[in-house]
Structure 1
Amino acid sequence: MISNIAGVVVLYNPEEDIIDNVSTYYNSLQKLYVVDNSEVPSEKVLQELSKNFPHTEYHHLANNQGIAKALNIAASRAIEEGFDWLLTMDQDSQASEDMIPKLLEVSANIPKEQVGIIAPRYILETDSLDAEQSNLQEVDVAITSGNLLNLCAFKEVGPFREDFFIDYVDHEYCLRLKLSNYKIVINNKVLLYHKLGDSKSHSFLGYQVNASHHNFLRRYYITRNRLAVLKEFKIQFPQYYRNESTNNLREFIKIILFEKNKVKKIKSVYKGYLDFRRNKFGKYRHN
């Protein structure tokens, strides 16, 4: 157990495999905050969490208040209780062996006060481990799951952006950390096994192409929040801007070529664009 690290797992209608997932990192934490966005919590899952992981603190957010709200609650509680780091986990992610201690090895090369987030290498179901990677890699952004968040940096930079609700909460926060001169560091020797939506591989003109198959609601948030981040950070991070602008176009093409419910998803993309232009954020509302 590493005494200055707490963790948070954010739930939304979790399956029972959440217990196996949490068990891959729980023993490296002094405390785990469980923040549940499910409209109706699963009593069976709660009983199993309580039985298997005694050092937990449970918070239920009625009416699904989003991942940013959940992260802010956990970070604030961890600061109140004197922790230095907060491990942020999705319910679908599994840690590799000794992930947390290995992540902290970054501090042997980079002083803690310079690091905002230490992240693992993310392994998706469609990924191969053949490619060699350098040990430490400074990046612009990292996804939320598997991160060690420096809580001193959190106190300086401020909370996650709750009006984003879900998508691009992590990107926006990483870029904000970098503007405050904190580094986002990936330790490529540390692995996190992560499930990304309903990602599937498709054959197209002799190539294998991965499409995320996010539902229409996620397409709304991705479009709206991505455009907001691009607008906010275009000047400071031009390479990020170019990459994400390209991804925006590629994902739209993949929806047309490979995904189901194309019309509904395209309408959601358009609504996300309109709400971005109107500066209308927060939880999705039907109109």
Structure 2
Amino acid sequence: MISNIAGVVVLYNPEADVFDNISTYYNSLDKLYVVDNSEVPSEKLLLKLKKSFSKVEYHHLENNQGIAKALNVAASRAFEEGFDWLLTMDQDSQASEGMVPTLLEVCAKIPKERIGIIAPKYILETDSSELDQNNIQEVDVVITSGNLLNMCAFKEVGPFREDFFIDYVDHEYCLRLKLSNYKVIKNNKVILYHKLGESKSHSFLGYQVNASHHNFLRRYYITRNRLAVLKEFKSRFPQYYRNESTNNIRELVKIILFEKNKVSKVKSVVQGYKDFYSNKFGKYNG
């Protein structure tokens, strides 16, 4: 069941713990594509990669071209080389023991031909309602890290949207998969240990409130790309539209109440709106 699986880890100026992270899922793969978005690649890192992992194919994109470009490079190579699945991992994510084969247990209950993505449960999630007796849950969207992407679905649905550059690349792709009648499945039986930037918990009026503390650049991409996804999929996914529209407002309030560099972040939100309405996408150039 676990044969014919490739993986990709996308790098951007990674920390030393990236090797420990890779080792948590490497042995479940037949090949690992390492796609490096760092402007200047680390020779030390590359030497250690080659020494530590024999099934690695390294790609340096020469400059930061975004998560979508990196995923497309790996997915295209995986499809060309005849792999059935592609595990997509962030550099700071760790797999729990047996994550990949446990994810694939879904295929015993749902025909592989109708599955677009199989995702784990993320350790950051705390809502117990995510768990059910069967452990399998069909959802609208999942984040990129820890996913098994069906290569047949990739062939049909096409590449990730590179003009988004980073944020909402995952949401847009999941919704596109669902419009092509592929299922996005969470297997809550398996855990991915995932970091979420500088997320912090704050006390407010007796409640604990989580704020992401994304930097101003991420805040720009989140705003611009979220608006594009909402516009594209509003009529087909009304509940998703309502949830994300609410999140748009909540996150702005959290920036004002809890986060540092409020002015630059609010300006980035405004710029995100402007560029969305001007249909200006791609990498932000200031």
Corresponding position of 1:69:
69
Q: Is the 8 A contact 2:2 2:104 kept in 1?
A: no
SS at match of 2:51: helix
RMSD: 1.2
Q: Does 1:180 align with 2:180?
A: yes
Q: Is the 8 A contact 1:178 1:184 kept in 2?
A: yes
Gaps of 5+ in 1: none
Corresponding position of 2:25:
25
Distance in 2 (CA, whole Å) between partners of 1:270 and 1:173 is 25
Corresponding letter in the other structure for 1:181:
N
Corresponding position of 2:80:
80
State the number of aligned residues: 284
Corresponding position of 1:103:
103
Deviations, residues 104-160 of structure 1 (Å, cap 9, x unaligned): 000011000010000000112xx5587671100000000000000000000000000
Corresponding position of 2:47:
47
Deviations, residues 192-236 of structure 1 (Å, cap 9, x unaligned): 000011001111111111101000000000000000000000000
TM-score, normalised relative to structure 2 = 0.97
Q: How does 1:1-287 map to 2 (within 5 A)?
A: 2-124=2-124, 127-128=125-126, 133-134=131-132, 135-286=135-286
Corresponding letter in the other structure for 1:237:
F
Distance in 1 (CA, whole Å) between partners of 2:114 and 2:127 is 29
Shift of 1:2: 3.0
Deviations, residues 79-106 of structure 1 (Å, cap 9, x unaligned): 1111000000000100000000000000
Q: Is the 8 A contact 1:95 1:193 kept in 2?
A: yes
Distance in 1 (CA, whole Å) between partners of 2:175 and 2:130 is 26
Corresponding letter in the other structure for 1:137:
Q
TM-score, normalised relative to structure 1 = 0.97
Q: Is the 8 A contact 1:2 1:30 kept in 2?
A: no
Distance in 1 (CA, whole Å) between partners of 2:221 and 2:18 is 25
Question: After the TM superposition, which parts of structure 1 deviate over 6 Å for at least 4 consecutive aligned residues?
Answer: 129-132
Gaps of 5+ in 2: none
SS at match of 1:173: helix
